[in-house]
Structure 1
Amino acid sequence: EPRDFPIQRITALMHANNSTDIHSFVTNAITANQPNTIIINVDSIMDHPNDIAVYPIRLDYISFTLDVNADKREYTMAIDGIYLHYGKLSLGVRPAEETTWSIYPNPAEDALIIRGANAGDRAVLYDLQGRVIASILLTGNEDLIDIQTVQSGQYILKINNNTTKVIKR
């Protein structure tokens, strides 16, 4: 049965791009069942704080120290994300959004049906050389792309920034 466990301390070791100096950051201010953040002043890592060419900053090591009074069981730990915030700029990996549209049939013979896309989105069908074969503005209902005159082969269908491989017989 999964359980939360008390973390007593988080330690991170970091260094700037070409620096040989390793900087240690420790926090004991851990809030149970909440996201915990280590805030690190960039100036404390960089040899020359005015020289942005020193980037990137590397995370070399991170450790979690369990409370000595914790039960001795097996635990699984997950890091939800590591983000670099610099001024108003935020870099990081965000979870992918779930696709709510569907495309069928695949393989297709006469038409591709696109269901559930947003009205105003554009669907573009490309061949494998990157040439546009068909392009339609989607209504948000059930849209059709006529492929009766398209040669058999593999094609790429792009809707907004989502890409799906479509095969026509």
Structure 2
Amino acid sequence: MSSETTDLLKVLAVTLLVFAGSTLVMLYSILLLAQYGANLPMVGSLPLNAPPELVPLLVGTGVFATLAAVHVTASGIALLLTSTTIDMALLITAKAVTVVIMALLGFAGGHMIYLQLTENTALNLNPLLPAIIGLIGFLVLSTLLSVPALRRLGNLRFAVGVGLIILGPLLLVWL
């Protein structure tokens, strides 16, 4: 495992923990403000039940599947061209989307922990399955199938590039 991959995994772990912890602090702060500061202006109207539907709603729109399909097609085009700028842009995009998905999962995890602690609600990871699949997909696109990694294939990269250009629209239909 390369040092870049190890660093990315560290960033993902820290992102998950920071967002889960921040969500817990935020929700308990809202709970405390709602219970003990209800007579303060605008505090009594804070919603305590809105966040849990956000993550499945965001993931269910297909935005991550669309981004993955476009990213695969763009990677194919980049392999046919020679541009370190495009390569770096695609690598940064894949890593950034991976971190954003992990932040969403951290938020959802923190909220699930909050619900478990305050309301004894059962943990249900099924709505998060598309986000977890998206996370794995973008993690692969930012490590094993990144354009710089595929460039090491030499002239075979042209065939892989054409394959990725064809695979991109197919992913959009499948996902």
TM-score by length of 2: 0.19
Larger radius of gyration: 1
Higher relative contact order (CA 8 A, sep 6+): 2
* Structure with more strand by fraction: 1
More helix by share: 2
* TM-score normalised according to structure 1 size: 0.20
